Amino acid sequence: MTNPIGSRALIDIQPAERLQGLPEQFFAKLVGKANAQAAKGRDVINLGQGNPDTPTPSHIVEAMQKASADPKYHKYPPFRGFPFLKEAVAKRYKEDYGVELDPETEVAILFGGKTGLIEISQCLLNPGDLCLVPDPGYPDYWSGVSLAGARMSFMPLLESHAFLPDYSQVSEEDRRDAKLMFINYPNNPTGAVATPEFYKQTVEFAAANGIVVSSDFAYGALGFDGKRPVSFLQTPGAKEVGVEFYTLSKTYNMAGWRVGFALGNAAVIELINTIQDHYYCSLFGGIQEAASAALTGSQQSVAELNALYQSRREAVFSALDEIGWKAARPGGSFFCWLPVPDGHTSESFADLLLEQADVVVAPGIGFGTHGEGYVRLGLLSSEERLKEAILRIGKLGLFS
């Protein structure tokens, strides 16, 4: 159908300023490069993204199949979700971390953890307000702050400090002005894990300076060498100063199901629920029932998934040792944070691996200035493919 008035646009569409200020979607650029190489018929091994590669456990899928046929879920769900799902995540936190949560006032159901990480900036930051952000860190923290019209001050995560922020290095001005801060352990992209001592320092720093803590616990189930990652909410006083974001995406391979939670400080939870009252009408009830089955049923699949990633980690680092690529093993998550060889930036090295080895890794600069000098590799393919990727890289002779 042709435009009856002609080919000229009737109006000049101008995006709102909040959209013009958004950072570039880093992973979209990464996917574009990988797809272009694959379109040439190349056998590309994509280890650059964080998308779980194994299926959702069958008992969760079966719960969804049964629930989807129940007519009670064919209507609008309650705006703030079904109580049984909030009770389920509270039960899981009690069993796994010893944390008591009031399902009604200290739990918000989210359309995936990413949604909550964007929303909290809208709930707490006014234009011009300051947020403390880890560098390197998950780029969508920046997106939420940008949409709020707020400012960021970056907290360097350095290998010399175990990839933990050093609060003694935060300036007096930033301490005074900051209203919100993000932390994320097990960490994306470094794979570092937090200690109880670090979380104690975090609570003390936040309380002393009136800063709300947003703890991103997306990889909370993935800890290696027999060590369960510590939850921020296990720390005395944590609920007084902040919230934690949890997701089923990694724990149960439910990335496409989009189920997450905000947990902790009741005042912040109410703000998140309020903004979501205007955005959504909660998740499909069948998904909520399946999510409840995941949280309250056998956790054997979680243990098996954790073992799978640890086995893959060992396979990767054995292969890295063989080609002379030296790096520290991650303590959690499903990412490896690897230094680039001399003479390369993170992006030039990532491009080289794609073009000459058909291997995709994520350049560290995409996660912040202090990500320069590293690339992120995901443990999200079979051991055979992971070892093949490292073998291909080794043939380039960059580490000999």
Distance, CA of 362 to CA of 375 (rounded, Å): 5
Residue 346's pLDDT is 97
pLDDT single digits (tens) 34-80: 888 889 989 999 999 889 999 999 999 999 999 999 999 999 999 99
CB 164 within 8 A of CB 199: no
In whole numbers, what is the pLDDT of the chain averaged over residues? 95
What is the set of domains in the chain, with CATH numbers? 17-55+301-394 (3.90.1150.10), 59-296 (3.40.640.10)
**Does residue 29 have a pLDDT over 90?**
no
Q: Round to whole Å and give the CA distance between 185 and 195.
A: 9
Closest CA to 184 of 373, 335, 6: 335
| Secondary structure percentages of the chain, helix, strand, coil, to 5 | 45, 15, 40
Q: How confident is the model at residue 21 (pLDDT cuts 50, 70, 90)?
A: confident
